[in-house]
Chain A
Amino acid sequence: MTTTNKKIIFTGPVGAGKTTAIDAISDISIIRTDEYASDMTKSRKPQTTVAMDYGLIRLGENERVHLYGTPGQERFDFMWDILTKGGIGLILLLDNTRPDPYRDMKFYTNAFRDFIQQEQLVVGVTRLDLQRKPGINDYRSWLKELSIDAPVFEIDARDRGDVTSLVQALLYSLDPGVTT
């Protein structure tokens, strides 16, 4: 019997909450790039470096949704095109406390340009509670400026409900006829 596998990709700059967001909805303890794990699990050293964070949602014996988080540091090294193969959508997390969230948005939407055109993007803005400007309206305008149609939500990456809302928006954008 074949197993159906789908993939959702989480991307964004370092510290935007990708690992945390995946962890919030993953069925398994996520496998992290050592960039994150080194501080938290020093006792587990030595570690194997992995290319991406990884989490999983099992829907049954034969259906799995794989959650991949891109390493935030590898802005110039990462092979974005490989990662997106087989993906159903992209969740872009942006940290509102970073110096230039617009530049971050531009970089990542450009890196995944082809994929976004074919599939679906959802944007989650983190740390708006710490830094209220720019606001959600600014992000909407920036997306328009970049000719991208995508939902933008304020989220707390630690909050399962918020991360679920991002996935919900992604799935409904792909198919508004989905029922629950």
Chain B
Amino acid sequence: MLNSSNNPLKVALLSISPHNRAILEFFFAGAGKSIFQIVAIKEAEALVVDFDHPGARQEWEENIRISPIPAIVLSVKECDVENTVWVPKPLTSQSLVQSATQIRQVLPGNTHSTDIAAGAEKQRTASDMSSLRELLDSQQKDKQVFGLSGWQQRERVKATASPIFAAAGVAYEEDDSSVSAVEKPDDSIAPADEQLIGTDDVYVPEPLSDDEALPGDSSLQLGQVTTPDDSEQDQEKQQQRWDLLCGQATQRVTAANWQESTQLYTPENYLLNSLIDALNLSRTSKQYVQVILDSGNYMLLMPDVNLAYSSIDLYSELFTDVCGTPLQGGKVKLHLPSTTELSELEEVVVQDARQTYDMEGLIWTTSLLTSHGRLSRNADLSSPLRLKSWPNLTRLEQFPDAMQIAALWHQKAGNVFDLSEWLDVPQRHVIAFFNGAHTLGLFEVNQGEDEQEKQAAPKKNRGLFSRLLKRLLGGGKK
């Protein structure tokens, strides 16, 4: 525990980079507020010096010649110097708090005077930080700032709020040649804690008051929805595309009756099957593989760059037809292009880059257009499956509920029937997700491990999360 004194340790910062200064001030203004107080050097009980900063060590040596007060030394490399406490980088709040304790023990008038070097040794070897952690937590519960401390924050707001960025009111001047203690630059600036806002959850700096709207922000209304273009026509087109990807079935099938359903397909009868073979071949051989249709159209898989080229636009009716029409044997060929062919193909790809897709993206879309919301006749749905990795959803065609389905399936093993029930979303969306992710090899049979604890996490933030998602998905300023 800390020294019995309730007063914060008065420290002066020697030369230090602006970022490190900001980080330390950030800590001193918040969690470390009752432990450290930054003062001018003549009032300091101890110095804080960053030995990794050029010239800082010399500056420290000069200072202690005049006034031999102890110092907290920050550095990556271990430092064993008399009358100092070494705090290794990366800095932690615990180690800083502990360094204050050690410094206090050697201050004049302290009855528990301890060899500071021994203290430093403790710092290096201490593994049980629980009491410090408790102390720190209690400090942070009391008041915590994030990001900007005190007057710096206010200064920043001033600077940002004003169209003219004048030099007046500069928070502090960096002066590498001398000790620069942090002082309030202006009496009108409120103390740090006056700029904090308290909540049940966290304490954060209030970056702006209502009167200090930032430039460019004045027209923004809360909850304002602007772009994206959500005209009726676009929405209709979007819905049509989702219907192609996920089908339109509204009835749910169950584990007991799905095999009797008419909503089944046989992947082997479609282009999809050849594409999967090509994907596997290209990945194992690390060669480009061409999938050639009898019409002359083709896809080229390029495993070294994870890209695929399709001579048919993925969003065209023709591609939908090609995916959805069963093929007769021999209508699709896999071909390993020769060097000459490759250079020709690469030229085509460069000239027609618009039809170059993420390789997983091509497989995903082909799988969805082929299955059209149907389950594979060969699917093994007897064992619960778990999504071992999320699909790269930012580069795959999305449809409603895909993100939510991915999140739950990654946490909890189940089958398509379970998922649609658990999430209460249209089963066709779950089936579409299953088909796409299964084709990409992203599922694994659940090994019976305990489900991750996160699924049982309290849902206390559900309302806020929901509002945040609505806000982000609905548009906003940007």
Contacts and interface: CB of A to CB of B under 8 A. Distances in A.
Nearest to B92: A81
Contacts of A65: 464, 468
A169 B411 CA distance: 13
A92 interface: no
A52 interface: yes
Contacts of A172: 403-404, 406-408
A97 interface: no
Given A6-B202, A86-B202, A169-B390, A76 B89 contact: yes
A111 B225 CA distance: 37
A31 B468 contact: no
A132 B22 contact: no
A174 interface: yes
B390 A85 contact: no
Nearest to A53: B147
Given A25-B472, A136-B306, A165-B394, A83 B457 contact: no
B315 interface: no
B35 interface: no
Given A29-B216, A44-B165, A85-B146, A54 B19 contact: no
B340 interface: no
B191 interface: no
B454 A80 contact: no
A34 B18 contact: yes
Given A63-B467, A154-B395, A172-B406, A3 B144 contact: no
A147 interface: no
A48 B23 contact: no
B214 A162 contact: no
Contact of A165 (B22, B214, B393, B464): B393
Interface string A36-65: 000001011111111110101111110111
Nearest to B23: A51
Contact of A79 (B27, B147, B173, B465): B27
Given A79-B27, A136-B306, A175 B19 contact: no
A24 interface: yes
A180 B466 contact: yes
Given A175-B459, A178-B462, A180-B469, A29 B199 contact: no
B140 A164 contact: no
A10 to B, nearest CB: 12
Interface stretch (B152-160, B238-246, B250-258, B323-331): B152-160
A33 B360 CA distance: 37
Contact of B89 (A48, A60, A77, A174): A77
B333 interface: no
Sorted nearest first, the 6 A-B pairs with minimum C-beta distance are A86-B202, A172-B407, A49-B18, A176-B408, A44-B165, A151-B390
28 contacts: A2-B200, A33-B19, A33-B22, A48-B171, A49-B18, A51-B26, A51-B147, A66-B147, A74-B19, A77-B90, A81-B92, A82-B27, A83-B146, A153-B390, A153-B395, A154-B394, A165-B403, A167-B472, A168-B472, A168-B473, A169-B393, A169-B403, A172-B403, A173-B411, A174-B465, A175-B457, A175-B459, A176-B455
Interface of A: 2-7, 24-25, 27-29, 31, 33-35, 41, 43-52, 54, 56-61, 63-66, 68, 71, 73-83, 85-86, 88, 111, 120, 132-133, 135-137, 140, 144, 149, 151-155, 160-162, 164-165, 167-169, 171-180
Interface of B: 18-23, 25-27, 30-31, 50, 74, 76, 89-94, 96, 140, 144, 146-149, 152-153, 155-156, 159-160, 165, 167, 170-171, 173, 197-204, 207-208, 214-217, 220, 222-223, 304-307, 358, 360, 389-390, 392-395, 403-404, 406-408, 410-411, 423, 452, 454-455, 457, 459, 461-462, 464-473, 476-478
Given A71-B19, A176-B407, 7 more contacts: A29-B216, A44-B159, A49-B152, A51-B149, A68-B146, A137-B306, A172-B403
